[in-house]
Amino acid sequence: MTQPAPETSRDESPFWRFSLRFYRAPKCRRRVSGAAGEAGGGRENLLLFLLFWPSIQRQVSVEDVAMLDAAVLPWRDSVVKPLRALRRALKSGSEKFPGRLAKPFADR
């Protein structure tokens, strides 16, 4: 019987390390969030992954983008979008909470 391959921790993942470096640069984070966030239907991670590919000498084709977007569509629709809607609802309702309780919502 074949043993499953050991999982790589996210700290060991080149994509994870790239993402952390990228998001540490405030201008980069704002541009990705603005370009792919609410208006882009929650595609920040896809955009970030496409930016990562050239760093590992991978070329990205239009077909690659379409395939990746289709692969993550069910997750985006069933998880990402509902969580974003919940976050917006919490943020807009935060004025109903006493000062220190509302701050974590208002800062996001």
Task: Report pLDDT digits (tens) over 58-107.
Answer: 898 999 999 999 999 999 899 988 888 888 888 776 666 666 665 555 55
Average pLDDT rounded to a whole number, residues 11-39: 73
What pLDDT was estimated at residue 44? 79
**What is the arithmetic mean of pLDDT over 51-64?**
90
Task: State how far the Cα of 22 lies from the Cα of 52, in Å rounded to an integer.
Answer: 10
Q: What is the DSSP string of 37-103?
A: STTTTS-HHHHHHHHHGGGGT----HHHHHHHHHHHHHHIIIIIHHHHHHHHHHHHTGGGS-HHHHH
Count of beta carbons in the 10 Å neighbourhood of residue 46? 19
CA distance 19 to 49: 8
Look up residue 95 and give its amino acid.
E
pLDDT of amino acid 66: 93
Provide the pLDDT for residue 40. 57
Alpha-carbon span 104 to 100, nearest angstrom: 8
How much is the mean pLDDT over the chain? 76
Closest CA to 76 of 87, 84, 66: 84
Higher pLDDT, 27 or 46: 46
